[in-house]
Structure 1
């Protein structure tokens, strides 16, 4: 079930090594840095399209070439497979932007 909370022993480091787990274990986050604003915006566009497809939207902010992302499944009050799927997709989109 995609919106069930992840087990306490979920291996974040192996699954999404570029992301940081918040000590509360309710949020993962990462800052993406791009060459320029255009590349950052391309990344955000790819992510937004994917978020709409899976109906799971990031909390994020953009400042020129940087995109800071926080993921959590608010309806489940913690981290779920949806967050892991979105993080993995964002890692791929960062390489495509």
Structure 2
């Protein structure tokens, strides 16, 4: 069973608490500049473990020290609470590594 889509007002409210994230249609994205390549890889490892535990997997692009995360709930066809929850977790991991 897919997660319910968030309404526009729910998304707007959620994004006020996620200032580093941008919305492009049905995708939330954030690029994080790590202090080193290995720090970026550690961030990806932590996000991967959280994503696996939630069974909700982001698209991840690694470009040397820049790591970009893209979140969308594909089986729901848009943004859900799963995306917002994972974005918050990613923010927490990023804060710990900086």
Question: Under a length normalisation based on structure 1, what TM-score does the superposition of the two structures give?
Answer: 0.91
1:8 and 1:93 mapped to 2: Cα distance? Answer: 27
- Over the aligned positions, Cα root-mean-square deviation in angstroms equals 1.3
Q: Deviations over 1:41-69 (max 9, x none)?
A: 01000000000100000011101111011
2:17 and 2:75 mapped to 1: Cα distance? Answer: 22
Question: Under a length normalisation based on structure 2, what TM-score does the superposition of the two structures give?
Answer: 0.90
Corresponding position: 1:29 with 2:29: yes
C-alpha contact (below 8 Å) 1:12/1:21 kept by paired residues: no
Residue 79 of structure 2 corresponds to 79
Tell me, which stretches of 5 or more residues in structure 1 are unaligned? none
1:5 and 1:39 mapped to 2: Cα distance? Answer: 33
Tell me, which stretches of 5 or more residues in structure 2 are unaligned? none
Please give the secondary structure, in 1, of the residue aligned with 2:61: strand
1:84 and 1:15 mapped to 2: Cα distance? Answer: 10
C-alpha contact (below 8 Å) 1:29/1:69 kept by paired residues: yes
Q: Displacement of 1:13 after TM fit?
A: 3.1
**Matched length:** 94
Q: Displacement of 1:34 after TM fit?
A: 0.7
